[in-house]
Amino acid sequence: MFEYKSFSPEDTAKLGKAIGESLSGGEVLCFSGDLGAGKTTLTKSIAEGMGIVDYITSPTFTIINEYDGEISLYHFDVYRLGDCDELYDIGYEDYIDSDGVCIIEWSNLVEDALPNDRLEIRLLRTGDMDERSIELEAKGQNYEKLIESIEGKL
Ligand code: ADP
Ligand code: MG
């Protein structure tokens, strides 16, 4: 596990860019953390690191937003989802199996639907207003190298 200390949205963006630059396609990034923890802020900078120029907004009312780039980004926010069935109804598994990158905000709410191999990213408020702890944990076999690559870019 890798813990990153952020003291500002800019610090969080620095991590996001390092993550985005380290992705090669097909990854699943699972975000957990309370409202306002910085999940969407981190997603924006990951997209930037991937070279995606679109304006990234929270997909809270649409469940998923798609962004095209050299590598596509599928940005889920499952906060308002009733259950995992709704996720399968919108073709979730095709996104997970695709060559694009999936980011799932509030992934802890759909734990049963998550692939075994994934990068868990937990955002926690710590102390002061802008202070965050951001934990990266590889689940399964394939994500340790990704964490090493991210650390190398910081
Ligand atoms: P979430 O998607 O987790 O609900 P957002 O990214 O939409 O959170 O909002 C996070 C808010 O907190 C933004 O207004 C952002 O400017 C602010 N913020 C303050 N400090 C930080 C930090 N260290 N990292 C990320 N966001 C921060
Ligand atoms: Mg959000």
Q: What is the pTM of this model?
A: 0.97
Higher pLDDT, 141 or 79: 79
Pocket of ligand 1 contains residue 41 by CB under 6 Å: yes
Mean pLDDT of 121-133: 95
Q: Which of 11, 41, 126 to mutate to test the pocket of ligand 1 (most atoms within 8 A of CB)?
A: 41
Q: What's the confidence (pLDDT) of residue 37?
A: 97
Contacts 24+ apart (CB under 8 A), 8-12: 8/130, 9/38, 9/41, 9/130, 11/132, 12/38, 12/41, 12/42, 12/45, 12/132, 12/134
Mean pLDDT of 85-114: 96
Q: What's the confidence (pLDDT) of residue 62?
A: 80
The C-alpha angle with vertex 152 and arms to 43 and 77, in degrees rounded to 5, equals: 15
Cα separation, 125 vs 80, in Å, equals 22
Closest ligand 1 atom number to CA of residue 12: 24
Please tell me the residue having the least CA distance from ligand 1 atom 27: 9
Pocket of ligand 1 contains residue 127 by CB under 6 Å: no
Cα separation, 99 vs 72, in Å, equals 8
Q: What's the confidence (pLDDT) of residue 61?
A: 75
Closest ligand 1 atom number to CA of residue 132: 23
Q: Note whether 121 and 115 are within 8 A (CB).
A: no
Task: Express each pLDDT in 31-49 by its tens digit.
Answer: 999 999 999 999 999 999 9
Q: Nearest to residue 21, comparing CAs of 41, 2, 3, 45?
A: 45
Q: What's the confidence (pLDDT) of residue 38?
A: 97
H-type helices in 23-126, by residue range?
Answer: 39-49, 84-89, 92-96
Cα separation, 61 vs 39, in Å, equals 16
Residue 92 confidence class, pLDDT cut points 50, 70, 90: very high
Task: Express each pLDDT in 51-81 by its tens digit.
Answer: 998 888 887 778 999 999 999 999 999 998 8
Task: At 79, list the tokens.
Answer: 């906060």
Pocket of ligand 1 contains residue 59 by CB under 6 Å: no
